[in-house]
Amino acid sequence: MNRGKIKGVRFPFLNYSVEAMNMIADMGFTYDSSLAAVGTEKIWPYTLDHGAVTDCLGQLSICNNPKLKAKGLWEIPLTSLTGKFGIIMYEQ
């Protein structure tokens, strides 16, 4: 696959950071799909121009962090599917 055609990322094991988000924005990626919208939240895709808008469970390092400078980077949030044992998977 031509690397120039790759437009977005999803971090393995949802292991991301503010620095990683800034880096992929600087590299020209157009979207990320690593942040989770937990519970009953149903969030439309949004840009990270003003930070993350999810409830920040498990991702406190990125929420409301002034070092996040990923302007124009779209976030396509993962919504959770829950069962009687809690969260069983995330979907796009």
**Tens of pLDDT, residues 8-39:** 999 888 788 889 999 999 999 999 998 877 66
Taking alpha carbons only, the member of 17, 36, 43 closest to residue 88 is 36
User: Which band of pLDDT confidence, cut at 50, 70 and 90, is reported for residue 64?
Assistant: confident
Residue 65 has pLDDT above 70, yes or no: yes
- Residues 4 and 41: their CA atoms lie apart, in Å, by 34
What pTM did the predictor assign? 0.77
What residue segments make up the domains of the chain, in order of their start? 3-91
